Structure 1
C-alpha cells in the first residue's frame, strides 16, 4: 500500500512542500490560505485521510483544520462535499442534522446512505425508550399517545390509563365564570334606577 509520504515524494509542486510554514501557522489568515491551496491538490483526500486516521493534532492536512478533524475522530466514514467541507457519510442522525445546517434537503442530498431512514429509526428508538418508561409506571396517558404515534394499538394498561383520564375530565365541573346576580332595583337587572331628587334653587 502506498503511503502518504511516498505520494508526496512522487508529486512535484505541492504547496505544502514549497511553503510548509503556512500549513502549520497559528494565524487564522494563513490557515485559511492553506485550506484554499488544498482545494486543488491531487492528494487532498489521501492527505486528509492520513491526518484523520493518525489523529494529527496540528496543521492543515487535506484542507482540514485540527478543529474540523477532531469532530471526526470517531472513526465513522466521512467525505468531502461539493463545497469542500468535511462531512460524515449519510445514514446517521448526525448526518441528518448536518443537512439542515447546510440548508440541504435530507434524502435528495444524501451521499453514501439514507439519512431520512436513519432519522426515522432514531425517532422510533427514542419513542420506544420513552414508552418503556411509561410502562414501568403501570401504563399512562402519555404511553397511550406514544403507542398511536408509533402506529400501533395501545396496550391494555395504557388504554385503561387513558380511559380513567377521560372519565376524570368529564366529572370535573365547568370552570366557566358566572356573573354574580345584581341586587334588585339596581342597574344591570333590567329595572330602572330610581330618580335622584335635587333641591330647587330659591
Structure 2
C-alpha cells in the first residue's frame, strides 16, 4: 500500500519524505495493546524524535499508511508538541485527489470501514475516495469490526469468522467490481470471510488514475 501512496503523490506533484530507518519504526500498538510496557517505552523513546526530524520540527504532517497505525501514532505523539499525524486516506482525499485525473472507474465497490477509521472520523474521507473510483459504493449491511485485532485473527481465525458473518453474507449476496478497506489485517479478514480480493482503497485509486 505504501507504494500506492508514493505513486499517487508523484502523480499529484507532491513530494513525500520517507524517514531514515522507517523499517524499524512502529506506532507502538502491538506493544501497548498487549500491555508490554517496556517495548512501548522503547518505541516512544525512539520514534517521536525521528519523526520530529523528518517533519522538520512539525512543519510537515506525518502521513501514516494504515488506519490502525494512524490511531496508534496519534496516541504515541500525543505528548510530542506540534507533531501532526494524518491518515493516508484523509490526506489523499484532501490533498491528492483534487490534483489527480481519474481515468478508469469501477462500476461497484464494496467498502469495509475499520474500527480505527471510524474512531478517527475518517469515514467521510473513505467515501470521498471510494466515490472517485466507483460509480456505486456500498458499505454492506451488517458492517462491524472484523475481529482481526492485530494478530488475533491469525491466531484465532474463528473470531474473525464470527465477527464478519453478517457482513460477509451481505457482500456475497451479490457481485461487486472491487472490494476495499484501509488496513491490511482487515483486508485479510474480509478476504477470508468472503473469498473476495480486498485491497487498500488507495491501491484502487492508483489503478483508477494510472
Query: Which of the pair is proportionally richer in helix?
Result: 2
Q: More relative contact order in 1 or in 2 (CA 8 Å, sep 6+)?
A: 2
Provide the TM-score with structure 2 as the length reference. Answer: 0.20
Query: Which of the pair is proportionally richer in strand?
Result: 2
The structure with the larger Rg is 1
